[in-house]
Structure 1
Amino acid sequence: MGVQRRHLVWQVIETAGFEAARLSLDGLTLHATGRAVGQLPEPYWLTYTLQTDDRAATTRLGVAATTTDASYDLDLRREGETWYVNGEPRTDLAGAFDCDLACSPVTNTMPIIRYGLQHGPGAQRFLMAFVQVPTLRVVTSQQSYTHLSLAEDTARVRYASGSFVSDLTVDRDGLVIEYPTMASRIPAVTPVTAEQRIGGPGSPRPGADRS
């Protein structure tokens, strides 16, 4: 299929904000750059870069976040079974393959596509390197993903962590469309053509009723 390139935007309900990401998928290798702005738990702005290997396992997540009173930077790397947080090894993360950036629908993709849960039955449990936002503190998180059903162009996958459970709707690339209580993808719109822009802002478009 070659490299799949996507530009996606989500309304992030949990943070009263938005996230936009540019992604490329080459098999299971994912590269993403994104920006997010939120108002909860406090106003913040962040940018990130994510890279995985050919098993959709995180190799690096770089994040910069700014709040009203502080700035934070994170360089999270996985080399073999060893994770490093800003250059310091973290033995508690041994056994994890994925990062999970809080309130980012992008980082739900890796565990789903690694086991093909967007295509058919399966259930997997994971240890995650969970990144809190906006402080970028990294903690461990036990999570699970279970395939529930297929539709023509989508699948439902159940996410669970502790007592929290949510049924995600994902597309055939394993990218989140709907994450109840957390995020909802904003549908793409048809671009305005050059002909439609001829009259400039506020002018009628060709074919519009001018009466």
Structure 2
Amino acid sequence: MTTSRAVTWDVMASHGYGTAWVAFDGETLRARGRAVGTDPEPYWVSYELETRDGYVTRRLRVTTETSEVTRTLDLRHDGRGEWTADGQPFPEVHGALDCDLGLCPLTNTMPVLRYGLHRAAGEREFLMAWVSVPDLAVRPSVQTYTHLAATGGGGGRVRFASGDFRSDLDFDADGLVVDYPELASRLTPR
């Protein structure tokens, strides 16, 4: 059964906003999103994300635009650990299962849902194909997610760590970020 959600975040880290329209079907998700930011310079971003079973990234298509340039990226994962960026092999992220679009809280969802880390104890380390915004450079990023506590309504708190950076994220029951201190906080409709 497919369920759909629209989520908007105040993205403090970019002095902007982002909205994602997400459809869950079994253990897959499809999403499209748009965001606007002013840091490091005014930009907008538009993306489409799709996963295969187990919330493993299949494809991320992104477009960013600044006053100077429009960039696009078509990042694909073959399901066996191999990635391409704009049709060219990208071995730097070999073995990664997920993409992580910079300043986009949605892409924290896949590893959390895959292991139920918003609901149950556990800690997992991941290699991610991290995409910076607005330049769309792809880099390997080792990230650790650790379940800290259950919260009301089936959600939970999960510690995100990468290098020296640490933040305790709140997720709802669907595995979507509610609060990511210093990066983004969900806006609620009136």
TM-score (norm 2): 0.97
Distance 2:185 2:97 in 1: 25
User: 1:118 touches 1:173 (CA, 8 Å); kept in 2?
Assistant: no
Distance 1:165 1:50 in 2: 25
The structure with the largest strand share of the pair is: 2
Q: Give runs of aligned pairs for residues 69-108 of structure 1, distance below 5 A.
A: 69-79=68-78, 80-108=80-108
1:94 Cα offset (Å):
0.8
1:171-201 C-alpha deviation (Å, 9 max, x unpaired): 0111000000000000122xxxxxxxxxxxx
Where does the alignment leave 5 or more consecutive residues of structure 1 unmatched? 190-211
1:28 Cα offset (Å):
1.8
* Counterpart for residue 142 of structure 2: 142
Distance 2:23 2:43 in 1: 26
- Give the letter aligned to residue 8 of structure 1: V
* Counterpart for residue 176 of structure 1: 177
Identity of aligned residues (%): 47
Q: For the aligned residues, what is the CA RMSD? A: 0.7
Distance 1:121 1:24 in 2: 26
Structure (1 or 2) with the larger CA radius of gyration? 1
Matched length: 188
Is it true that 1:49 corresponds to 2:44 in the alignment?
Answer: no
* Counterpart for residue 200 of structure 1: none
* Counterpart for residue 129 of structure 1: 129
1:37 Cα offset (Å):
0.2
Distance 1:90 1:63 in 2: 16
* Counterpart for residue 159 of structure 2: 158
| Structure 1 runs of 4+ with >6 Å offset | none
* Counterpart for residue 16 of structure 2: 17
1:19 Cα offset (Å):
0.2
- Give the letter aligned to residue 120 of structure 1: A
1:27 Cα offset (Å):
2.1
Distance 2:166 2:81 in 1: 28
Distance 2:132 2:152 in 1: 35
Distance 1:146 1:82 in 2: 26
1:26 Cα offset (Å):
1.3
1:145-195 C-alpha deviation (Å, 9 max, x unpaired): 000001222210000000100000000111000000000000122xxxxxx
Where does the alignment leave 5 or more consecutive residues of structure 2 unmatched? none
